[in-house]
Amino acid sequence: MKHTPYNTGKVLIGSRYDPPITREITPEEFTMQSVLLGDRPLMTQLVCELRLYFVVLAMFVVGLIIFL
Protein backbone atom coordinates (compact mmCIF):
# COMPACT_ATOMS: atom_id res chain seq x y z
CA MET A 1 0.00 0.00 0.00
CA LYS A 2 1.26 3.43 -0.93
CA HIS A 3 1.60 6.13 1.66
CA THR A 4 -0.69 9.04 0.78
CA PRO A 5 1.00 12.39 1.40
CA TYR A 6 -2.21 14.19 2.39
CA ASN A 7 -5.70 12.91 3.26
CA THR A 8 -8.53 15.48 3.45
CA GLY A 9 -11.13 12.91 4.44
CA LYS A 10 -12.76 12.96 1.00
CA VAL A 11 -9.84 13.37 -1.37
CA LEU A 12 -6.55 11.52 -1.24
CA ILE A 13 -4.10 14.08 -2.53
CA GLY A 14 -1.12 12.42 -4.16
CA SER A 15 -2.56 8.90 -4.07
CA ARG A 16 -1.77 8.32 -7.75
CA TYR A 17 1.56 10.10 -7.80
CA ASP A 18 4.49 8.07 -9.08
CA PRO A 19 7.91 9.67 -8.86
CA PRO A 20 9.61 10.16 -12.24
CA ILE A 21 11.76 7.28 -13.40
CA THR A 22 15.42 8.26 -13.42
CA ARG A 23 17.69 6.77 -16.03
CA GLU A 24 21.45 6.62 -15.86
CA ILE A 25 23.27 8.12 -18.83
CA THR A 26 26.24 6.26 -20.26
CA PRO A 27 29.54 8.03 -20.98
CA GLU A 28 28.95 7.56 -24.72
CA GLU A 29 25.52 9.19 -24.49
CA PHE A 30 26.97 12.05 -22.45
CA THR A 31 29.72 12.63 -25.01
CA MET A 32 27.27 12.56 -27.93
CA GLN A 33 24.91 14.96 -26.17
CA SER A 34 27.75 17.35 -25.30
CA VAL A 35 29.01 17.36 -28.87
CA LEU A 36 25.53 17.98 -30.28
CA LEU A 37 24.93 20.81 -27.82
CA GLY A 38 28.32 22.37 -28.60
CA ASP A 39 29.87 21.95 -25.16
CA ARG A 40 33.27 23.59 -25.67
CA PRO A 41 35.19 22.15 -22.68
CA LEU A 42 34.35 18.61 -23.72
CA MET A 43 35.28 19.37 -27.32
CA THR A 44 38.62 20.75 -26.11
CA GLN A 45 39.20 17.64 -24.02
CA LEU A 46 38.45 15.39 -27.00
CA VAL A 47 40.83 17.36 -29.23
CA CYS A 48 43.58 17.10 -26.60
CA GLU A 49 43.05 13.35 -26.34
CA LEU A 50 43.21 13.00 -30.12
CA ARG A 51 46.44 15.00 -30.20
CA LEU A 52 47.91 12.76 -27.51
CA TYR A 53 46.97 9.64 -29.46
CA PHE A 54 48.51 11.14 -32.59
CA VAL A 55 51.78 11.92 -30.79
CA VAL A 56 51.96 8.39 -29.33
CA LEU A 57 51.26 6.89 -32.76
CA ALA A 58 53.90 9.10 -34.36
CA MET A 59 56.46 8.07 -31.74
CA PHE A 60 55.59 4.41 -32.34
CA VAL A 61 56.04 4.80 -36.11
CA VAL A 62 59.36 6.64 -35.70
CA GLY A 63 60.51 3.91 -33.28
CA LEU A 64 59.64 1.22 -35.83
CA ILE A 65 61.48 3.06 -38.59
CA ILE A 66 64.60 3.45 -36.44
CA PHE A 67 64.44 -0.14 -35.25
CA LEU A 68 64.04 -1.59 -38.73
**What is the distance in angstroms between the CA of the first residue and the CA of the last residue of the chain?**
75
* Structural domain boundaries enclosing 63: 25-68
18 occurs within a structural domain: no
3 occurs within a structural domain: no
Question: 11 versus 57: which is more confidently predicted?
Answer: 57
10 occurs within a structural domain: no
Tens of pLDDT, residues 26-47: 888 888 888 788 776 666 777 7
33 occurs within a structural domain: yes
14 occurs within a structural domain: no
7 occurs within a structural domain: no
42 occurs within a structural domain: yes
How many domains is the chain built from?
Answer: 1
pLDDT score for 12: 77
Residues contacting 43, CB < 8 A, separation 6+:
34, 35
pLDDT score for 7: 74
